[in-house]
């Protein structure tokens, strides 16, 4: 009886074990089916290739600048009395820009005053000498007529009178010069030289007034060999503009002077202007750990558009162009680990995705050329959706 009980217990344990094993297998199978079905039903976005022209471009970022910018500076120190133009005004060469009021230098005024006093004394002495010599000459002339003195003595007296008269004229000229110098020191000009006065600042060339960094009442200093002087305004011809920008060192070797370029100005609704590359800097500069090379190019404004100096712009230089290329968003391409072979996942008729190897061509950094593997009708899986793609995917699931 006890033996049969033990046997029954063993059989029962085996049955329970087999039953549990069956339940586990059943649950696992059901879970696998559910997981498989959910994987098959998972929704992905797809993108199809497009046929477009693929341009290999070098992009330079920079700004628009005038070819020549002239800074107008005074030739004398003083205070700005009037400013006769505004920023944006078009001016002609020789047009009055501003006037300067001289601040007299006490030392210079004192020296000029002393010079006037000295020349006045010299003139007074010269007048006395002329009067004395005139009397001497008249007496000598009378004696000569009477035969008391020789002709030579008479001629000597005549020459002395002429000499003292010349000295008086010279003294008058020196006094006039000293008085004018005093006036210049005090006011910066004399009436007869007003048009040439350094107190009048005039445009040196025709153009547009870009900036006026001074105001009425501002103190300015003159430009000389030791000082750059105060800039009263800057003038440039806005019909003669250039593009100045920078490119990465990896692109510098692809460029040559004389290449055509397109200058795109964002402030003018990305309007493009033709241009020509004129300069590639022979030496690069380091910026944030990368080497940059400066480039310059002419900008041809054939439509007469009003382009302001300082506009941000991009210079696009076309290196090559692939016509009617099969292009795909480069972010959709995946690469196998180890051999780095490129592939995409293409949607099949049953909704699943199949790995398809593709051969890649040129790239513009956004799109890549597909040489073989898929065609324009292939639906390629978006395997790494962006935030915008995720929003699109949510809308798609709702529908």
The predicted-structure confidence for 160-174, as pLDDT tens digits, reads as follows: 989 999 999 999 999
Ramachandran quadrant class, 64 (left: phi over 0; alpha: psi -120 to 50; beta: rest) = beta
User: DSSP string spanning 267-321?
Assistant: GGTTEEEEEEEEEE-SS-EEETTEEEEEEEEEE--TT-----TT-EEEEEEEEEE
Distance separating alpha carbons of residues 179 and 187, to the nearest angstrom:
12
pTM over 0.75: no
Choose among 244, 230, 293, 243: nearest CA to 273: 243
Report how far Cα 57 is from the mean position of its chain's Cα atoms: 22
- Report whether 197 contacts 76 (CB < 8 A): no
pLDDT for 234-253, tens place per residue? Answer: 999 999 999 999 999 988 88
Pairing of strands 290-299, 285-287: antiparallel
Spatial distance between the Cα atoms of 166 and 126, rounded to a whole number of angstroms: 9
Q: What is the mean pLDDT of residues 192-199?
A: 59
307 touches 300 (CB < 8 A): no
Distance CA 199, CA 220 (A): 11
Please state, rounded to an integer, the average pLDDT across all residues of the chain. Answer: 86
Average pLDDT over residues 357-381: 90
> Would you state the pLDDT for residue 144?
85
- For residues 189 and 102, give the distance between their C-alpha atoms in angstroms, rounded to a whole number: 9
* CA-to-CA dists, residue 31 to 38, 40, 61, 396, angstroms: 10, 14, 57, 27
Cα distance between residue 286 and residue 249, in whole Å? 10
Spell out the residues 6+ positions from residue 151 whose beta carbon is closer than 8 angstroms to its own. 144
pLDDT in tens, 94-145: 999 999 887 777 787 788 889 989 999 998 999 999 999 999 888 988 888 8
Q: Cα(240)–Cα(236) distance, rounded to whole angstroms?
A: 8
pLDDT level of residue 5 (50, 70, 90 thresholds): very low
- Helices 106-146 & 151-187, crossing angle to 10 degrees? 160
Rounded to whole angstroms, the Cα distance separating 151 from 97 reads 67
What's the confidence (pLDDT) of residue 185?
A: 74
Query: What's the confidence (pLDDT) of residue 112?
Result: 85
Mean pLDDT, rounded, for 148-157? 88
How much of the chain, in percent, has pLDDT values that exceed 90? Answer: 50
Q: Please tell me the distance from the alpha carbon of residue 217 to that of residue 81, in angstroms, as a whole number.
A: 6
Contact 40, 182 (CB under 8 A): no
CB-based burial label for 46 (10 Å; 0-12, 13-18, 19+): middle
Strand duo 285-287 + 200-202: pairing: unpaired
Assigned token pair, 258: 């004389």
> How far apart, in Å, are the Cα atoms of 164 and each of 134, 144, 158, 172?
9, 21, 10, 12
């Amino acid at each position: 009886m006890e033996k049969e009980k033990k046997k029954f217990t063993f059989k029962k344990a085996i049955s329970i074990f087999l039953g549990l094993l069956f339940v586990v297998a059943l649950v696992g199978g059901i879970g696998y089916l559910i997981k498989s079905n959910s994987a098959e039903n998972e929704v992905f976005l797809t993108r199809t290739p497009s046929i477009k022209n693929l341009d290999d471009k070098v992009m330079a970022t920079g700004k628009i600048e005038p070819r020549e910018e002239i800074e107008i500076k005074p030739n004398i120190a003083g205070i700005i009395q009037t400013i006769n133009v505004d920023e944006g005004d078009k001016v002609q060469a020789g047009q009055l820009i501003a006037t300067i009021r001289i601040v007299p230098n006490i030392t210079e005024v004192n020296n000029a005053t002393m010079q006037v006093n000295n020349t006045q004394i010299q003139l007074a002495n010269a007048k006395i000498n002329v009067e004395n010599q005139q009397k001497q000459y008249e007496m000598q002339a009378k004696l000569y007529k009477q035969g008391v003195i020789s002709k030579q003595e008479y001629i000597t007296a005549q020459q002395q009178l002429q000499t003292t008269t010349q000295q008086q004229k010279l003294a008058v000229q020196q006094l006039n010069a000293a008085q004018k110098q005093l006036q210049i020191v005090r006011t910066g000009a004399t009436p007869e030289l007003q048009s040439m006065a350094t107190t009048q600042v005039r445009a040196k060339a025709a153009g547009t007034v870009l900036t006026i960094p001074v105001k009425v009442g501002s103190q300015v200093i003159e430009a000389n060999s030791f000082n750059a002087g105060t800039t009263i305004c800057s003038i440039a011809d806005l019909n003669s503009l250039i593009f100045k920008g920078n490119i990465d060192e990896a692109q510098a070797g692809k460029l040559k002077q004389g290449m055509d370029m397109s200058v795109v100005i964002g402030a003018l609704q990305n309007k493009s202007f033709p241009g020509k590359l004129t300069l590639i800097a022979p030496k690069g500069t380091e910026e944030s750990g990368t080497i940059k090379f400066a480039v310059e190019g002419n900008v041809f404004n054939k439509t007469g558009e009003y382009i302001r100096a300082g506009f941000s712009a991009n210079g696009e230089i076309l290196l090559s162009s692939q016509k009617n290329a099969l292009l795909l968003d480069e972010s959709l391409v995946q690469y196998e680990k180890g051999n780095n072979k490129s592939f995409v996942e293409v949607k099949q008729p049953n909704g699943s995705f199949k790995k398809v190897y593709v051969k890649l061509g040129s790239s513009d950094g956004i799109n890549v050329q597909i040489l073989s593997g898929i065609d324009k009708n292939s639906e390629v899986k978006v395997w790494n959706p962006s935030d915008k793609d995720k929003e699109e995917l949510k809308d798609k699931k709702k529908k």
